[in-house]
């Protein structure tokens, strides 16, 4: 890396426009990857808060048995919307679009992504998709009520605005594909001199593997949901059993994408975890190559396990046990990562600051999510637990406890770099703890209820579940309260926070070598990379807050 030279103060990317406009247009028409990353941040955070509020409403409905605040049909549309927003608008694009855009070019020593204008276009395609989702709420016919998986035949028969919502999902997929293409090309073409493949930071590796999944898997779901739209409009019969079509084929085609999609959600988060752990242990990562390769392995094996979502849909027994076995195999590369993280912490001089605490949250919650995934991946137990609350608990532990916590972790890790301001660390520490309490209160009872037979997607339940449902709902208040609290103090820090230094944590990857916030083109001079990515001997020559 630039041998410890710290670039002298230059104008930051907030002060310099990439186009001839100033003011709001200098943002809306920007081609700067950092500004685009921040635009994604604002948009995605907004949808996350909307999705969380809907979750809160659902939990309110479930506070007491019977009708509490809404009827069954409203509940159906709410869980569909909650799922669609959280999956397609928040968790899939979240980390790559925000932090990938902002930090991937910096971490490989580039001035921008390979196709800056395409990058802006992807953003607007994302916004278009999001707007269409919102529009579908208000058109006659009513909001979509199929669940976010759009299973046939219901999605063809219902009169709600399924077609528009599906088309929106298609458009969001296109945005995801274009971002993927951009990142793959960027990593291949724009690495700084000396940045060999195995000198890339692990966040870059993770984003790179993710980009490949975006490219390979998304078109398949694209055509699948397009077929549902065509089916609804013209009735060609491809999935309609009355005309000879096969509804199970829909499920196969849907999960061929949507299972790998869970790795689009989790891989970038794992990349961030590697960054944070090394920085706060002041120690190079244990097993760099296995971690990098396990990302690729997850990306690859992830394609072979989709049918574990369909054990009870009608499959041959042979197919079922093969998919069950493959599902277990995909847990191995994840295990490699966890092992290497723990080994890195061992004998490291751990500095337990806020981002690191989020990582602890992650490891705990994600492990529960992963282990419960093995329960669902085993044929016999899955038949009992499928479509119960156990599944709901499992995927919230994986997606929210995994990627969601790292969304907050990454936010707290890179906030000073992105905005040049520091937040209130005491508030931040408190919120890690209340998040943990709220999260487990909200979702752990669902494991138990699921085991006891509470089906998912029901707005009513038997009295025997009442206590657990109450605990869960109270947990949702703590959790959503925490989320709004975090939003509050981060916004406050943006306005009034103290100025952050260029390297508040003592990190050594390239972004910590440049000022906070970064200057317009990141580097005055493209650096020549001479160090391993996590070589902390550089820290002696670097400035950082001890």
CB-CB neighbours of 366 under 10 Å: 24
Interface residue with other proteins among 223, 289, 319, 383 (CB under 8 A) is 223
Residues 6+ apart with CB under 8 A from 302: 213, 259, 260, 262, 263, 330
What span, in angstroms and rounded, lies between the C-alpha atoms of 125 and 167? 12
Check residue 267 for interaction with ligand HEM (CB under 6 A).
Answer: no
Interface residue with other proteins among 71, 193, 235, 488 (CB under 8 A) is 235
| Min separation Cβ 417 and other proteins, Å | 20
Q: Which is nearer to other proteins, 245 or 333 (CB)?
A: 245
Check residue 309 for interaction with ligand HEM (CB under 6 A).
Answer: no
| Min separation Cβ 527 and ligand HEM, Å | 36
Segment near ligand HEM (CB under 6 A); pick from 119-127, 151-159, 161-169, 476-484:
476-484
Sign of CA dihedral 224, 457, 328, 96: positive
Check residue 129 for interaction with other proteins (CB under 8 A).
Answer: no
Interface of this chain with ligand HEM, residues 438 to 467, rule: CB under 6 A: 456-457
Check residue 479 for interaction with ligand HEM (CB under 6 A).
Answer: yes
Token pair recorded at residue 345 = 């912490």
Check residue 404 for interaction with ligand HEM (CB under 6 A).
Answer: yes
The answer to whether 500 touches 420, Cβ cutoff 8 Å, is: yes
| Min separation Cβ 472 and ligand HEM, Å | 8
Interface residue with ligand HEM among 33, 34, 35, 82 (CB under 6 A) is 82
**Distance, CA of 18 to chain centre:** 29
Interface of this chain with other proteins, residues 186 to 215, rule: CB under 8 A: 188-190, 215
| Min separation Cβ 228 and Cu ion, Å | 20
Interface residue with other proteins among 227, 265, 269, 345 (CB under 8 A) is 227
Binding footprint of Cu ion, residue count (CB under 5 A): 1
Check residue 236 for interaction with other proteins (CB under 8 A).
Answer: yes
Burial class of residue 452 in the structure, from the number of CB atoms within 10 Å of its CB (0-12 exposed, 13-18 middle, 19+ buried): middle
Position of tokens 């329960």? 375
Check residue 376 for interaction with ligand HEM (CB under 6 A).
Answer: no
What span, in angstroms and rounded, lies between the C-alpha atoms of 325 and 35? 44
Interface residue with other proteins among 54, 104, 166, 253 (CB under 8 A) is 253
201's contact among other proteins, Cu ion, ligand HEM, none, with CB below 5 to 8 A by partner kind, is none
Interface of this chain with Cu ion, residues 292 to 311, rule: CB under 5 A: none
CA distances from 356 to 282, 361, 503 (A): 12, 9, 16
What span, in angstroms and rounded, lies between the C-alpha atoms of 397 and 388? 15
Interface residue with Cu ion among 35, 199, 259, 412 (CB under 5 A) is 259
259's contact among ligand HEM, Cu ion, other proteins, none, with CB below 5 to 8 A by partner kind, is Cu ion
3-state secondary structure of 147: coil
Token pair recorded at residue 414 = 């890179």
Check residue 245 for interaction with other proteins (CB under 8 A).
Answer: yes
Residues written for the chain: 546
CB-CB neighbours of 364 under 10 Å: 16
Backbone angles phi, psi at 235, to 5 degrees: 65, 50
Interface residue with other proteins among 5, 16, 135, 347 (CB under 8 A) is 16
Q: Which is nearer to ligand HEM, 116 or 369 (CB)?
A: 369
**Distance, CA of 71 to chain centre:** 31
Strand-pairing partners, residue 455, are 388
Check residue 417 for interaction with ligand HEM (CB under 6 A).
Answer: no
Token pair recorded at residue 531 = 């160090």
Of 429, 416, 421, 418, give the one whose Cα is nearest residue 497. Answer: 421
What span, in angstroms and rounded, lies between the C-alpha atoms of 202 and 205? 5
Check residue 148 for interaction with ligand HEM (CB under 6 A).
Answer: yes
Interface residue with ligand HEM among 1, 86, 144, 225 (CB under 6 A) is 86
Backbone angles phi, psi at 52, to 5 degrees: -65, -40
Q: Which is nearer to Cu ion, 259 or 396 (CB)?
A: 259
What span, in angstroms and rounded, lies between the C-alpha atoms of 142 and 226? 20
Point out which residues bind Cu ion (CB under 5 A).
259
Point out which residues bind other proteins (CB under 8 A).
10-11, 16-18, 31-32, 111-112, 114-116, 118, 177, 180-182, 184-185, 188-190, 215-216, 218-220, 222-224, 227, 230, 234-238, 243-246, 249, 253, 520-521
């Amino acid at each position: 890396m630039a041998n410890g030279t710290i670039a002298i103060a230059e104008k930051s990317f907030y002060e310099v426009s990439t186009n001839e406009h100033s003011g709001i247009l200098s943002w809306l028409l920007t081609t700067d990857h950092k500004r685009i990353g921040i635009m994604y941040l604002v948009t995605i955070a907004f949808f996350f808060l909307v999705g969380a509020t809907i979750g809160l409403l659902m939990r309110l409905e479930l506070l007491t048995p019977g009708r509490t605040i809404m009827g069954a049909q409203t509940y159906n549309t709410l869980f569909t919307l909650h799922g669609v927003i959280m999956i397609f608008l928040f968790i899939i694009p979240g980390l790559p679009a925000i932090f990938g855009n902002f930090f991937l070019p910096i971490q490989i020593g580039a001035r921008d992504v390979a196709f800056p204008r395409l990058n802006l276009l992807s953003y607007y395609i994302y916004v278009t998709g999001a707007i269409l989702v919102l529009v579908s709420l208000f058109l006659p016919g009513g909001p979509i009520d199929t669940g976010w998986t759009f299973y046939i035949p219901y999605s063809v028969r219902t009169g709600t605005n399924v077609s528009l919502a599906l088309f929106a999902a298609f458009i969001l997929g296109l945005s995801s594909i274009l971002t993927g293409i951009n990142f793959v090309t960027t990593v291949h073409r724009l690495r700084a001199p000396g940045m060999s493949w195995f000198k890339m930071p692990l966040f870059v590796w993770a984003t790179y593997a993710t980009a490949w999944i975006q490219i390979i898997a998304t078109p398949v779901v694209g055509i699948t949901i397009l077929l549902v739209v065509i089916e609804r409009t013209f009735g060609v019969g491809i999935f309609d059993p009355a005309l000879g079509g096969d509804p199970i084929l829909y499920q196969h085609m849907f999960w061929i994408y949507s299972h790998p999609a869970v790795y689009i959600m989790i891989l970038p988060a794992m990349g961030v975890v590697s960054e944070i752990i090394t920085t706060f242990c002041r120690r190079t990562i244990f097993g760099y190559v296995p971690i990098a390769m396990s990302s690729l392995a997850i990306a690859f094996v992830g394609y072979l396990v989709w049918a574990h979502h369909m054990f009870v849909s009608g499959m041959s027994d042979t197919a079922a046990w093969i998919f069950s076995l493959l599902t277990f195999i995909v847990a191995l590369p994840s295990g490699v990562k966890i092992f290497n993280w723990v080994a890195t912490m061992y004998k490291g001089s751990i500095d337990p600051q806020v981002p690191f605490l989020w990582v602890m949250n992650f490891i705990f919650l994600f492990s529960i999510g992963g282990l419960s995934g093995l329960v669902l991946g085993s044929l016999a137990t899955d038949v009992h637990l499928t479509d119960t609350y156990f599944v709901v608990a499992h995927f919230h532990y994986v997606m929210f406890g995994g990627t969601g916590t790292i969304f907050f972790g990454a936010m707290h890790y890179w906030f000073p770099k992105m905005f040049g301001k520091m937040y209130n660390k005491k508030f931040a520490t408190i919120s890690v703890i209340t998040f943990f309490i709220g999260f487990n209160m909200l979702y752990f009872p669902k494991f138990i209820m699921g085991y006891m037979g509470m089906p998912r997607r029901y707005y009513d339940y038997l009295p025997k579940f009442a206590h657990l449902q109450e605990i869960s709902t109270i947990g949702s208040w703590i959790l959503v309260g925490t989320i709004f609290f975090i939003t509050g103090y981060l916004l406050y820090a943006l306005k009034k926070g103290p100025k952050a230094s260029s390297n508040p944590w003592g990190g050594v990857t390239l972004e910590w070598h440049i000022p906070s916030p970064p200057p317009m083109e990141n580097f005055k001079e493209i650096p020549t990379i001479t160090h391993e990515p996590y070589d902390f001997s550089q820290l002696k020559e670097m400035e950082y807050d001890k």
